[in-house]
Chain A
Amino acid sequence: MASVSKASSQGATTTATGSPNKDHGQIVRASPTSLAAWSWCARRYYLRYVLGLPESDAGASTDEGRRVHAILRFVHTQGGCRDADVVHDALVTHNCDTEAMRSLLEQHRARCPREVDDEAHDVSRARYHHKPPPYFLATAELDTVWIHDGLFDIRDYKTGGSAPFELRDDVRAQVQAWVWAPRAAARKLRLRLRYEFLSPEVVDEPDPWEPDPDDVDAIEEQLRATVEDIRGSSFVGVADAVTCRRCSFRSICSDSAAPGEPVWPVLSLDPGA
């Protein structure tokens, strides 16, 4: 079987008292992004997914990514990305008939299967882990599922960022594979996961990943161990200037090594001030 590297458990220290564990329900809820946040920094995970705080620092705009996703959904539900009229309609409808957008679509078209038996777009599924404890429920949303050539081919579109070296090492991909594996198995199809990096600047797109049942079992154990780390954590931040500078909680995080001013307006609440 192929190996699955162990996810980071940084900051996962256990405390006998004062642990924020009470903030978790009996069933830990996980998603690709929440576990990616955990891998990034335990404090970031705590602020975003345990406390549910709003981000204090503006991150990169996701408008472009949302638009690309909307256009790809539109073209695939209206006739397909190889139909020039449909593509034109999509670009006009979304008011973005630009060279850059056409280039992104071209990148996708080169990866899009020509003949499929079935398809679904923007779909989410959840999977529950019960034993051995701790219990957890993970959800994973996909941009597209293609059924073709004996494959249950699940895709995620990426419009920015750097590509992971191997999908099997990416916690987001691991969660997606684990959640969707039973769907592929039920249809007696091979599961394949692919991240489509649509920006022409990304030239090192990772190869598609076909986790086998042993891989999926290993992922489940790894996720279970990660959830165990989370439940025992005191959520200490990484306090690394490079990491913190890119964090959307850097201005309010008690462990921030790159403090700044939040985007929120703040005046003194001291009545004597």
Chain B
Amino acid sequence: MASTRFRLRQRIREDAALAHAEFRAAGPADFPAPSDLTSEERAVYRAAATGYITLFADRPGVTLDIGKSVPIPEAGIEVAARPGVFLRCGDGNELRALRLDGTTPRLTDAIRHAVALLAGADFTPMRIVVVDLLSLETVTATIEPSEVAPSSAWVDERLAAWRGAIIGNAVNGAACLQCEFVWDCPIHRGAR
């Protein structure tokens, strides 16, 4: 199952995107209290919405129509990603990657490359803001047009690692906890 944290993050992101259908900042009315959640989930949603409104109160923006995937024809694959809310703000384009961990957020290579590939030459430079809506901490960076090509090379490298993992031996470890294929995995089949 997707954790509630993930689903709450999706809801906050969708509510924020809807708020930015026109050029403005989001306000309390853009985050209606969900009725289909437990009281604990609602508390997290309220805190996250508060965080979004507080952090971006003075940064109005309007959503950008940027696709959720980009084809890599030479590799025969399509890279899909939904890193956050893409906006056009007063001082340029911005990606808001929202987190609900209550910790210091991290800007990973995967986010940088995903944003470079999705935004491409048309929408870069793109300012990335990775924000934890509970701790109110942010990490920012700017993706320049020159980073789009290196991101394609990163995809090639990751694709090779992925294909290598397919033909390699299964690894028993902590990652099994999140794995969806335990049922038929060679290293766990002995229990059946």
A109: Cβ under 8 A from any B Cβ: no
A269-B33, A271-B29 known; A54+B44 contact, CB < 8 A: yes
Please, which residues of chain B bring their CB within 8 A of the CB of A267?
Answer: 28, 50, 53-54
B49: Cβ under 8 A from any A Cβ: yes
A249-B40, A254-B40, A263-B102 known; A269+B28 contact, CB < 8 A: yes
B: number of interface residues (CB 8 Å)? 39
A: number of interface residues (CB 8 Å)? 42
- In-complex Cβ contact of A47 among B1, B27, B40 (8 A): B40
Please, which residues of chain A bring their CB within 8 A of the CB of B54?
Answer: 265, 267
- Interface on chain B toward A: helix, strand, loop, or mixed SS? helix
| Residue interface bits A21-57, CB-to-B below 8 A is 1, else 0 | 0011111010100000000000000010001111110
CA distance A102 to B166 in the complex (A): 46
A128-B191, A139-B174, A262-B47 known; A252+B40 contact, CB < 8 A: yes
A101-141 interface with B by 8 A CB criterion: 123-131, 137, 139, 141
Please, which residues of chain B bring their CB within 8 A of the CB of A130?
Answer: 191-192
Please, which residues of chain A bring their CB within 8 A of the CB of B108?
Answer: none
CA distance A50 to B53 in the complex (A): 28
Q: In the assembled complex, how far is the CB of residue B106 from the closest CB belonging to chain A, in whole angstroms?
A: 15
Contact B47 A266 (CB under 8 A): yes
Contact A27 B182 (CB under 8 A): yes
Contact B40 A253 (CB under 8 A): yes
CA distance A249 to B178 in the complex (A): 23
Q: In the assembled complex, how far is the CB of residue A186 from the closest CB belonging to chain B, in whole angstroms?
A: 11
A265-B54, A266-B46 known; A126+B173 contact, CB < 8 A: yes
Contact A126 B50 (CB under 8 A): no
Please, which residues of chain B bring their CB within 8 A of the CB of A262?
Answer: 43, 47
Chain A residue nearest in CB terms to B55: A265
Contact A129 B191 (CB under 8 A): yes
- Interface on chain A toward B: helix, strand, loop, or mixed SS? loop
CA distance A196 to B66 in the complex (A): 54
Chain B residue nearest in CB terms to A49: B3
B183: Cβ under 8 A from any A Cβ: yes
| Residue interface bits A239-270, CB-to-B below 8 A is 1, else 0 | 00000000001011110000000111111111
| Residue interface bits B112-155, CB-to-A below 8 A is 1, else 0 | 00000000000000000000001010000000000000000000
- In-complex Cβ contact of B39 among A137, A254, A264 (8 A): A254
Contact B177 A52 (CB under 8 A): no
- List the 8 shortest-distance A-B pairs measured between CB atoms, nearest first: A52-B3, A126-B176, A264-B47, A124-B174, A128-B188, A51-B4, A252-B43, A271-B29
Besides the contacts A125-B173, A126-B174, what 9 more A-B pairs have beta carbons closer than 8 Å? A53-B4, A53-B5, A130-B192, A249-B40, A252-B39, A252-B43, A263-B102, A266-B47, A267-B54
